[in-house]
Every structure is written in structure tokens, then in C-alpha cells.
Structure 1
């Protein structure tokens, strides 16, 4: 009979610990969901503001079209062509490894505790 009571007590203690763990995880997940929802609301508000800004800019440009004196006629002779920007070539793997070895040498010079 004593062994049955010990087994029952152990089972109840295990279930209690599991319940506490599940309660903690539930609270953690609810908090994460709340944070994600707040971020979603913030992004929706920013998207709405961006749409409003685009509409205001569009109205401004449409207003400028109604005033033909503000627009300057152009032709293909007046177009300016720009050369493509120069992109730096990617570094060689040996140069990258050389820079890492130099960096590793400086790490060994750092005194412990800093």
C-alpha cells in the first residue's frame, strides 16, 4: 500500500511540474504573439501612411500637369545618358584569408580579462 501511495505522489508531483511548465510556455507564447501583433499593426500603419504620401505626391504632380506653364518641353536631344557605375571586383579568397590571419594575430595579443 505504501508503494502505491509513493507512486501516486510521484505521479501527482510530475503532473504538477508539467502543468507549471505548460503554463509558463503558454504565457511565453501569448507574449510573443502579442509582440508580433503589435509589429503587424505598426507595419500596417506605416503602409497606410506610405499610401497616403503617394496619393499626396500624385495629387501634387497632377496639379502641376494642369498648369502647363510649369512644364518644360523636352526632346531626345536634351536627354543625358550616364555611364553605368563602376562596381569593384570581388576580393580573391587568398586576400580574404590573409586579412583573417592578420585579424587572428591581433586577437592573440589581447590580454586576458579585456
Structure 2
């Protein structure tokens, strides 16, 4: 007698993982429905913590946007400060050069003529009613009043 294999019972084979829904594991772990049936207070805590997490994420995005905006504003202000420092340095160099020129004239008294109050000439104020037209070279510049303190 030969041994024959025993007949197999008809049990359903487990489905391969490829046929299962792809996010079933994640949906099961993040779902509050199953927990709500077992412990309603735990489901409420789960919803509160999820809401807090979303709120913190949104606030982080908002603060990041504000930080980038403020950093950009600071960079522009710093560039303006550096430009004003450069202009101030140039102005100081120019005034020092003019001062040296005037001091060199004082050291050579033959070029200066002594004066007294009797030799002063007083000129009347000009009566020009029309304003002078600006020079064509300066027409492109917009001249503004310099604020007090500068």
C-alpha cells in the first residue's frame, strides 16, 4: 500500500500584501474610531493632540515666514547703513581736503590781503523776480531738503 497525501481542508489563503489596501496599517493606528468605542476620553485626547499638532505646525510656518521677512528687511537696512557710512567717509575726506587747502593759503600770507571794516563793501540784494532755470546737467537730479540733524 502506498501512502497518499491527506486531503487538505479548504481554508482561505492569506491575501498577499500587494492586494491589501496600502495605508491600512497607518489608518488603523491613526484612527480614533476604534479607540472611541473602547475609551471615549482617550479619543478626545487624541483629537485634541492632533489639533494642537496642526496648530503648532501652522504657527511654525507663520513664524518662519515672519523671520524671513524680518531678515530681508534687516539686510536692506544694513545695506543702506553701509552706503551712508561710505558717503559719510567720502564727505569727511572732502572736508579735510578743503581744510588743508585753506590752511595752505593761510601759511602763505602774501596771497592774503589784510582787511578792515572800513574796506568792506555792502551789496544790495538782487531784485530778480524770476527764478533761475536749473542747469541741464542738474535737471535729472531731484533735490530734496536735508532733514535737520544731518
TM-score, structure 2 as length reference: 0.50
- 1:45 paired residue number: 86
Shift of 1:52: 0.6
Please say if 1:15 is aligned against 2:59. no
Alignment correspondent of 1:71: 112
Count the aligned residue pairs. Answer: 84
The alignment's C-alpha RMSD in Å is: 2.0
Residue by residue over 1:37-74, the C-alpha shift from the partner in whole angstroms, topping out at 9 and shown as x without a partner, is 11111111111111111110011111112222321221
How far is the alpha carbon of 1:83 from its aligned partner? 7.5
Mark the runs of 5 or more structure 1 residues left unpaired by the alignment.
Answer: 85-114
Match in the other structure for 1:112: none
Q: Distance in 2 between matches of 1:66 and 1:14?
A: 77
The equivalent of 2:97 in structure 1 is 56
Unaligned runs of 5+ in 2: 1-41, 126-150
- TM-score, normalised to structure 1, is 0.64
Find the residue that maps to 2:74 and give its secondary structure.
helix
SS in 1 for 2:115: coil
> Which is greater in Rg?
2
